[in-house]
Amino acid sequence: MTRARGFTLIEVVMVTAIIGLTTATVIWSLSPNGGADEAARRFAARAALAAQDSVIAGRPTGIDVDAEGYRFLRLRKGQWAEIRGDRHFEPSVWGPELDVSVAMTAATRIPARKTDSSPRPPLIVFDPTGLATPFRLAVTVRDHRLDVSGDERGHIEVQKNADARF
């Protein structure tokens, strides 16, 4: 009895997986915006979710943003408390290559995080009535910039900055 020659299904699947992972890594590393697009879109999607959650839950939800990352807070008994135990609202850290700044109506830069354990009031607040704190968050890598903006009606969008080169 002669044995058939060729590759087994497992060998073909493994080679295909390795090629796919290698291709994805190369494409991601060649990305011209270095992760700014993903970070901006992810923040916008999560902010929109926080706005919807505020209306559905009937209590204010906020986002505390600083140069290191952002976290979600809810107003409970007159105090802002970090949302815990909900995978949609886990804190997020900006990538080391990202420069993030946020402008509020007074065009303030991101303040340094408080050192004590009590949460400060969030920079961005979504009200149960659907109203929100207007903001513009700029995510920059090298000369590539994306802006995430939110208006007082809670509408959030991502825009390529006119000054950036894509």
Average pLDDT over residues 33-50: 86
Where would I find the beta strands (DSSP E) of 48-126?
61-65, 69-76, 79-82, 92-93, 99-103, 124-126
> In terms of Cα–Cα distance, which of 28, 36, 69 is closest to 144?
36
Reply yes or no on whether the pLDDT at 90 is more than 90: yes
Residue 71 has pLDDT above 90, yes or no: yes
Exposure string for 75-84, b = 16+ CB within 10 A, e = fewer:
beeeebeebe
Q: Are 159 and 147 in contact (CB under 8 A)?
A: yes
**Looking at residue 110, what is its pLDDT?**
42
Strands 99-103 and 92-93: unpaired
Long-range interactions of 57-60: CB distance < 8 A, separation 24+: 57/128, 58/128, 59/128, 60/125, 60/126, 60/127, 60/128
- In this prediction, residue 36 has a pLDDT band, given cuts at 50, 70 and 90, of confident
In the structure, what pLDDT confidence band is assigned to residue 107 with cuts at 50, 70 and 90?
very low
